[in-house]
């Protein structure tokens, strides 16, 4: 198979202008050819978008969005190009009907009689919308070269029903995330030309595209935000799954999510950023002078006399704090970015720093007066989301707080970033897989963690609030385990299959690989973790409840143990059972058993939901 790129195809109009709406029969899919490369045009009510052929070392794929309902594809070939599919010549205007789970040989002959041969399979999404983004350059290399690089472009949003919901210029797309940016499948942040309520979410011009690279079930963030919504944590960001296409290339299943920013429909507090810009034209002109001192940084601005709010601050890793425009470091070394206002004056930075310092002083001393400055309800509910999910980053990063003007308290939330939760994260000792563990002492495990959970967990007020809120949330988990997780899995399963076909070659053991090869096994693991986690927490917090049951279908799975020299032993383990046995080995020669698929070290908390192989590598 001859491998070719599809960047040149973007000379065609991938997204029609907003004034050029079509009245087109829904799901009119056309196959065209450019310089020997086949590509598709998806025409729906209001827009048309290109889908390029994606190829790995074995074959090519056309990944189709859910708005394509028909298997019919009309051939549109100009000039002297010809197309044969499985040897049969297809005339211009003729229709080809494709079948799933079948490969086709496509032969293209151009006007100079040069032949191109492709082995192609078709895969189609179901149930979730498609987002098409075209960058101004027509490529992604510069965007992916550095997270700070930005591009303009165009965006088109097409729900499953095939009617264009939104299309417009895209003011900005850039990279986002910290560790997640290092993976091959990149996360992005986008800024629309105007605020819009995309796909039923709250109206805004700023959105996040989470890559879900480390989420085996692809529903970690969704379930965490569902829980936060159930607990009624104010301003909890909402999101929805999408299939993302960039410059015609399918990028996989993503989670389109509302940004944690200050504004209407987001964190709706007094907007100091707007106030600062009104009083300081230099901010609008991007000429304002910044300052940086040992424990604070921001801008030299004029500001009004009332600096009591609003503020949106984020606990961040020290390494990431360096890139934030405004922020502070507490006397005990905790780093906070000020995300609202992003350009904070010296007076504003000093005010919120002193406020957080006072809360920290009260927390460290165990003074109950801390609840006069730190909101008990939101702090406890954020703790519950972090604790139930066993979020690895709790207290370390992506931990938000806000304070409004005229308010006497700092509120915890909104919650954010749960791709290292639900037993996904494999630490060297398996702590975050232990469904009876606790993040209360996370600050003992990670030196950069804020220790307010540890200091306040045992206080009577917080214990009472924990037990009340947890007991009230149990019906939510009952429904989630009974039908909610399966409903989500059914909704995204076909897109997860496309994502796996798209990215399986880019995954290596230890590089965000899904725990199990089979998607339904990963879904079962999510249920397994939650059921066992909830049973432990019910006992810890004296919450009467019928035991939650982890899934098991009665089948037997083979578990193979191998080393460089070959297979050591093969055993059979019941579906959903813990793997409590591993063969003995010489620790002076071998490093220890690890799961061959994920590269994670063996851990008895990981159940067996499919045939598995564990490998023991030699030292040196």
- Of 13, 12, 18, nearest to 167 by C-alpha is 18
Query: In the predicted model, what is the mean pLDDT of residues 561-578?
Result: 97
* pTM, two decimal places: 0.94
pLDDT above 90 (res 379): yes
List of residues 6+ apart from 394 with CB closer than 8 A = 386, 387, 439, 442, 449, 453
The reported pLDDT for the residue numbered 509 is 66
Which domains does the chain show, CATH number per domain? 7-124 (no CATH), 130-258 (no CATH), 272-457 (no CATH), 556-618 (3.10.20)
The reported pLDDT for the residue numbered 512 is 65
Helical H segments across 231-284, by residue range = 272-279, 281-284
Dihedral-angle region of residue 227 (phi above 0 means left; psi in -120 to 50 means alpha; beta otherwise): alpha
Phi and psi, residue 7, nearest 5°? -60, -35
Q: How far apart are CA 368 and CA 366, in angstroms?
A: 6
The reported pLDDT for the residue numbered 399 is 97
Q: What is the pLDDT of residues 113-161, one digit of tens each?
A: 899 999 999 999 999 999 999 999 999 999 999 999 999 999 999 999 9
Beta bridge partner(s), residue 115? 109
User: In the chain, what's the furthest Cα-to-Cα distance?
Assistant: 83
In what helix (H) or strand (E) does residue 560 lie, and over which residues does it extend? strand 556-563
In what helix (H) or strand (E) does residue 364 lie, and over which residues does it extend? helix 346-365
The reported pLDDT for the residue numbered 316 is 96
Phi and psi, residue 139, nearest 5°? -135, 180
List of residues 6+ apart from 598 with CB closer than 8 A = 426, 509, 510, 513, 514, 515
Within a 10 A sphere around the Cβ of 255, how many other Cβ atoms? Answer: 24
Q: What is the pLDDT of residues 308-327, one digit of tens each?
A: 999 999 999 999 899 999 99
pLDDT above 70 (res 8): no
Query: Radius of gyration of the chain from Cα atoms?
Result: 27
Q: What is the pLDDT of residues 86-121, one digit of tens each?
A: 999 999 999 999 999 899 999 999 888 899 999 999
Cis peptide before 414 (omega within 30 of 0): yes
The reported pLDDT for the residue numbered 508 is 67
The reported pLDDT for the residue numbered 13 is 41
Query: In the β-sheet with 612-618, what is the strand arrangement from edge to edge?
Result: 566-574, 556-563, 612-618, 590-595
Q: What is the pLDDT of residues 241-277, one digit of tens each?
A: 999 999 999 999 999 999 999 999 899 999 999 999 9
- Of 365, 529, 519, 534, nearest to 452 by C-alpha is 365
- Residue appearing with tokens 């460089």: 564
The reported pLDDT for the residue numbered 6 is 62
Beta 239-246 vs 130-135: how paired, if at all?
parallel
In what helix (H) or strand (E) does residue 525 lie, and over which residues does it extend? helix 519-540
Instruction: Please answer whether residues 435 and 342 qualify as being in contact, where contact means their C-beta atoms are separated by less than 8 angstroms.
Output: no
Instruction: Please answer whether residues 254 and 180 qualify as being in contact, where contact means their C-beta atoms are separated by less than 8 angstroms.
Output: no
List of residues 6+ apart from 467 with CB closer than 8 A = 541, 542, 543
Q: What is the pLDDT of residues 454-476, one digit of tens each?
A: 999 999 999 999 999 999 999 99
Q: How far apart are CA 89 and CA 82, in angstroms?
A: 8
- Of 266, 259, 32, 239, nearest to 129 by C-alpha is 239
Q: How far apart are CA 88 and CA 382, in angstroms?
A: 61
- 271 three-class SS: coil
């Amino acid at each position: 198979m001859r491998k070719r790129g599809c960047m040149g195809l973007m000379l065609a109009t991938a997204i029609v202008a907003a004034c050029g709406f079509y009245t087109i029969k829904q799901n009119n899919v056309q196959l065209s050819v450019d310089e020997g490369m086949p590509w598709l045009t998806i025409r729906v009510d209001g827009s048309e978008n290109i889908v390029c052929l994606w190829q790995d070392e074995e074959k090519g794929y056309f990944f189709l969005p859910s708005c394509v309902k028909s298997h019919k594809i009309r051939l549109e070939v100009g000039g002297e190009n010809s197309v044969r599919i499985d040897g049969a010549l297809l005339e211009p205007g003729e229709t080809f009907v494709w079948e799933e789970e079948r490969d086709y040989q496509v032969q293209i002959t151009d006007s100079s009689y040069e032949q191109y041969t492709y082995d192609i399979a078709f895969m189609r999404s179901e149930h979730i919308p498609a987002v098409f983004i075209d960058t101004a350059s027509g490529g992604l290399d510069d965007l992916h070269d550095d997270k700070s690089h930005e591009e303009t472009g165009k965006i088109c949003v097409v729900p499953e029903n095939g009617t264009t919901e939104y299309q417009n210029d895209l003011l900005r797309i850039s990279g986002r995330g910290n560790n997640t940016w290092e993976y091959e499948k990149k996360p992005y942040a986008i800024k629309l030309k105007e605020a819009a309520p995309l796909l039923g979410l709250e109206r805004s011009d700023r959105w996040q595209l989470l890559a879900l690279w480390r989420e085996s079930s692809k529903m970690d963030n969704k379930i965490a935000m569902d829980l936060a919504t159930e607990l009624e944590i104010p301003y909890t960001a909402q999101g929805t799954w999408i299939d993302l296409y960039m410059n015609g290339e399918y990028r996989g299943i993503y989670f389109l999510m509302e940004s944690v920013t200050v504004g209407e429909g987001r964190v709706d507090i007094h907007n100091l950023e707007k106030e600062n810009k009104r009083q300081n034209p230099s901010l609008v002109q991007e000429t304002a002078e910044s300052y940086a001192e040992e424990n604070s940084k921001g801008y030299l601005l004029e500001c009004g006399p009332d600096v009591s709010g609003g503020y949106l601050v984020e606990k961040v890793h020290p390494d990431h704090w360096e890139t934030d425009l405004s922020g502070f470091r507490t006397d005990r070394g905790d780093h906070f970015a000020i995300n609202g206002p992003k350009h904070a004056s010296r007076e504003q930075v000093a005010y919120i720093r002193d406020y957080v310092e006072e809360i920290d002083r009260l927390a460290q001393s165990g003074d109950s007066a801390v609840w006069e400055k730190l909101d008990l309800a939101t702090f406890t509910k954020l703790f519950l989301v972090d604790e139930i999910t066993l979020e690895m980053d709790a207290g370390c990063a992506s931990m938000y707080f806000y304070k409004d003007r005229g308010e006497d308290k700092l509120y915890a939330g909104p919650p954010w970033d749960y791709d290292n939760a639900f037993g996904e994260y494999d630490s060297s000792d398996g702590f975050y897989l232990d469904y009876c563990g606790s993040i209360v002492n996370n600050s003992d495990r990670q030196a950069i963690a804020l220790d307010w959970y540890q200091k306040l967990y045992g206080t009577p007020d917080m214990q009472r609030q924990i037990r009340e809120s947890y007991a009230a949330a149990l019906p939510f988990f009952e429904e989630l385990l009974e039908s909610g997780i399966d409903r989500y899995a059914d909704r995204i399963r076909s897109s997860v299959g496309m994502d796996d076909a798209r990215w399986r070659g880019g995954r290596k053991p230890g590089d965000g690989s899904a725990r199990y090869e089979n998607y339904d096994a990963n879904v079962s693991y999510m249920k397994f973790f939650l059921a066992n986690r909830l049973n432990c927490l019910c006992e810890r917090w004296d919450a009467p409840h019928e035991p939650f049951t982890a899934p098991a279908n009665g089948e037997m799975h083979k578990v193979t143990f191998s080393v460089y020299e070959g297979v050591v032993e093969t055993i059979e383990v019941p579906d959903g059972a813990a793997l409590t046995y591993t063969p003995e080995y010489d620790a002076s020669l071998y490093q220890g058993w690890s799961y061959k698929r994920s590269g994670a070290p063996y851990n008895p908390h990981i159940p067996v939901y499919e045939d598995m192989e564990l490998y023991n590598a030699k030292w040196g």
